[in-house]
Amino acid sequence: MSKIVSGFSKLTKEQKIDWLAKNYFENQPEIIKTIKQYWNVDEKLQQLHDDFIENTISNFYMPYGVAPNFVINGREYVIPMVVEESSVVAAASLVGKFWSTRGGFKTQVISTTKIGQVHFIYAGNKNSLQDYFTKNKTELRSATASITKNMEKRGGGILDIELIDKTNQLDNYYQLHVTFETKDSMGANFINSCLEAIARKFQKDDIEIVMSILSNYVPECLVRAEVSCKVEELGGKNPEKFAQKFEQAVKIAEIEPYRAVTHNKGIMNGIDAVVLATGNDFRAIEAGAHAYASRNGKYSSLTHCEIKDGVFRFWIELPLALGTVGGLTALHPMAKLSLDMMQKPSARTLMQIIAAAGLAQNFGALRALTTKGIQHGHMKMHLMNILNQHHATEQEKEEVTHYFEGRTVSHSAVVEKLNSMRKPAINWVDFSDNIKIKESLSKLPAKAKPLFGKMKGQQMVEHLSTVTQIANGNWKVDSYVSEEKQARRRPYLNTDGELQVGFKAPFLSEDPTPLKFKSMDEAIEDLINQVNHFTKVFTEDKNRIVVHPFFGELDYDFWKKFQVKHFTHHFKQFGLV
């Protein structure tokens, strides 16, 4: 059955969801519930979001964070960031604070011009085309008068129109290359409207207009951000070594495209997050930045580093075509809030803030890479994502976070820790509770077969009694445990770990020893007597130390911990707990 639908855009939002659920989710009610769960409760606000694009059925949330402590050209900022990747906001915040005490970020806008082009085909005489263009250049500008009027009042408009010959690359291909200044507007709609007006005026029988469109490659809309300080002010154990490694890391990204792509991706982590938060077009920014990184014929780093005369300098230069008026920046409430948070910047100021964010992100990544490694900090931040993925409770999150404070985070390690915490609570056996011990063992046949191991029921009871005699001083075992082994083994008694199946002290024989008593009742009675004696001898001599054949010298507290583990182990052997 075909799933092709006609008139989908004319369906209501509810009808779109019903069609989707029926055709692609087999009418699963939880799918519809999930889609509607992300609707805004404010109907007017939801309608605003619905109108941003076509065929909307819900909202897709992204985390909105802030990076404080940025000082840019002597002014303090808190920078909003919309990003799904952990560690991005944390890194920006840390780096912002780091440089706030070292002079902050120094930024400048180099230029703000943007480009649009009318692409056309002309097979006639080149000189005739040049004459036609020259004669009509003023008319081409005039054709946009009604569009440029308001922009010109703000100091913007069309700066220049050039005829470009590209016939050496594509037969009969030319373009009108138009330079614009759009002030605080990103200007995409303005530029495209101007280009279409110019194309209509320029077109004639022997000129075929192919298309009219702005370019997202804006190498003349440049901003620069820089940080610098004396090398010794970088801090750490060896600031000179750090500065050298940092510089080398940047130089590698300058000459190695494989590294440069990842290097620049890290820069865009910071840039895109602020671009998104302000309702600007992050895809255009990405495309323009990567094109700029390739402007010399080879993909290279957008940042650069220099150590000269004992001063560390790190800077970025890239194109950023941004707007603070018009488009989504004027419609999306959170975009407006972001701009207010940054003290209502002009487009030029926003360029500088975003460049600083990109430079900060790159500094944070390179500092991690050249010191502890990128995964150390990244996985710490990723920890919460792993915990949420496995539906950890708040108590589990707190315990796991504390556990990994001094450990390396990995997905498998976190899952292993969670699983260990979620194991059913161990039903530890209280070996000193004579009544319960007797009740449990009385149900056990003398020849009962174990779930693991070789001992039968009565042999196990006599074994517990025999081992207790070691602590009581009634059985001398010729064994020696080195201090090194004691130090390694004894701490285990303080844990919640159980004695593993197959655990056997070296002084025991491979096979069970012959029975000492004629009946199970006698064996149980002896065990109770040995446990009582155990308590008596240690109570009478509080400083008593007795060597355990595996764990070494144990006092009363350690012997009790061992007895609990030992009794529990063997009770489990016969399914008594």
- The whole-angstrom separation of Cα 8 and Cα 156 is 41
Please give the structure tokens belonging to residue 314: 């790190």
- The whole-angstrom separation of Cα 311 and Cα 239 is 11
b or e along 220-230 (b: 16 or more beta carbons within 10 Å of the residue's beta carbon)? ebbbbbbbbbe
Residue 436 known to be catalytic:
no
3-class DSSP state of 376: helix
Give Cα 192 distance to the centre of its chain: 38
Contact predicate 137/161, CB 8 Å: yes
Tokens 């900022």 belong to 77
| Annotated active-site residue in 85, 254, 399, 521 | 85
| Annotated active-site residue in 378, 417, 456, 560 | 378
Run of H or E residues at 552: strand 552-554
What are the residues facing 118 on neighbouring strands?
176, 212
- The whole-angstrom separation of Cα 365 and Cα 179 is 36
- The whole-angstrom separation of Cα 199 and Cα 556 is 95
Helix intervals (H) in 38-115: 43-50, 88-100
Helix intervals (H) in 278-346: 282-293, 333-341
Phi, psi of 44 (to 5 degrees): -65, -40
- The whole-angstrom separation of Cα 487 and Cα 40 is 60
Contact predicate 186/322, CB 8 Å: yes
- The whole-angstrom separation of Cα 409 and Cα 377 is 9
Q: What is the DSSP string of 268-283?
A: HHHHHHHHHHTT--HH
Residue 204 known to be catalytic:
no
Contact predicate 44/68, CB 8 Å: no
- Give the helix, strand, coil percentages of the chain, each rounded to 5: 50, 15, 35
Length in residues, the chain:
577
Contacting residues for 432 by C-beta, under 8 A, at least 6 apart? 531, 535, 560
Closest to 164 in 3D by CA, of 130, 199, 131: 130
Strand segments, DSSP code E, in 342-460 are: none
- The whole-angstrom separation of Cα 293 and Cα 318 is 8
| Annotated active-site residue in 137, 177, 201, 265 | 265
- The whole-angstrom separation of Cα 187 and Cα 323 is 7
Closest to 195 in 3D by CA, of 136, 130, 284, 117: 117
CA angle 507-512-513, nearest 5°?
80
- The whole-angstrom separation of Cα 365 and Cα 358 is 11
3-class DSSP state of 6: coil
Residue 378 known to be catalytic:
yes
- The whole-angstrom separation of Cα 552 and Cα 59 is 63
Give Cα 45 distance to the centre of its chain: 30
> What are the residue numbers of the active site?
85, 265, 281, 378
